[in-house]
A and B are shown apart, each in its own frame.
Chain A
Amino acid sequence: AQSVTQLGSHVSVSEGALVLLRCNYSSSVPPYLFWYVQYPNQGLQLLLKYTTGATLVKGINGFEAEFKKSETSFHLTKPSAHMSDAAEYFCAVSGGGNFNKFYFGSGTKLNVKP
């Protein structure tokens, strides 16, 4: 079975500071990896994904993530936080024998201070 670990249920940064949200996964084979964002009282929206190819992937709103197989990590970064980035972020993995299933991390709430 696969699992996803997001370190830090709450992260707080100042506006303009670097955003780093951590995600580690366990999978016996290279998985597909996703980051989703959820704004209050809304569904989940895809930020970015890694399936194959380039390990550094860029997403919407200036976010990017790097797939590091040796570290089984897929951390999400943004060079400069904006107030509108305040939301909950979820890392998800699919694959490892059953590409139909997704496994989600428990989420990280990002707070952006003025």
Chain B
Amino acid sequence: NAGVTQTPKFQVLKTGQSMTLQCAQDMNHNSMYWYRQDPGMGLRLIYYSASEGTTDKGEVPNGYNVSRLNKREFSLRLESAAPSQTSVYFCASRVPQDTQYFGPGTRLTVL
């Protein structure tokens, strides 16, 4: 039982490049989330998916897109990366009205 897994762990991009962050969970959770963590700002919600086939914007969705591929997988795409998107990205999943379980994070640097 791996919990929530994220790939890659580290990534360096140049401004304007695109990439997709992958997330998968094996806990059969309906809800999945993408956050970014920046120093002194806690975690900010980018997008979430309450169930397979649905996605909704969070606090900071601009510059990102998501795909809920199936119940297990929820990907985050940066179409044209900007230095302001340098951050640590966390994926999480949860059962309804209960705890979120977090992945180990992806450290992204945009030059």
Count of residues in A whose CB is under 8 Å from the partner chain: 25
Chain B residue numbers with a CB within 8 Å of A42 are: 104-105
Q: Is the CB of B90 within 8 A of A9?
A: no
Q: Is the CB of B42 within 8 A of A90?
A: yes
Q: Is the CB of B103 within 8 A of A106?
A: no
Per-residue CB contact flags for chain B residues 91-109 toward chain A (1 = under 8 Å, else 0) read 0100011111111110000
Identify which of B12-20, B43-51, B73-81 touches chain A.
Answer: B43-51
Q: A51 with B97: in contact, given A43-B90, A102-B33 (CB under 8 Å)?
A: yes
- Give bound CA distance, A107 to B41, whole Å: 7
Smallest CB separation, B105 vs chain A (Å): 6
Q: Is the CB of B103 within 8 A of A100?
A: no
Q: Is the CB of A94 within 8 A of B41?
A: no
A96 at the interface (CB under 8 A from B): no
Smallest CB separation, A106 vs chain B (Å): 4
Per-residue CB contact flags for chain A residues 40-73 toward chain B (1 = under 8 Å, else 0) read 0111111001010000000000000000000000
Smallest CB separation, B103 vs chain A (Å): 6
Q: A101 with B45: in contact, given A34-B99, A44-B102, A46-B99 (CB under 8 Å)?
A: yes
Residue of B nearest to A103 (CB): B45
Residue of B nearest to A107 (CB): B42
Q: A49 with B99: in contact, given A9-B40, A105-B42 (CB under 8 Å)?
A: yes
Residue of A nearest to B3 (CB): A43
Smallest CB separation, A110 vs chain B (Å): 15
Chain A residue numbers with a CB within 8 Å of B48 are: 100-101
Q: Is the CB of B99 within 8 A of A106?
A: no
B interface with A by C-beta (< 8 Å): 4, 31, 33, 35, 40-45, 48, 50, 56, 58, 90, 92, 96-105
Given contacts A43-B102, A46-B100, A90-B43, 7 further A-B contacts (CB under 8 A): A43-B4, A43-B105, A101-B48, A103-B45, A105-B42, A107-B40, A107-B42
A interface with B by C-beta (< 8 Å): 4, 9, 32, 34, 36, 41-46, 49, 51, 90, 92, 94, 99-107
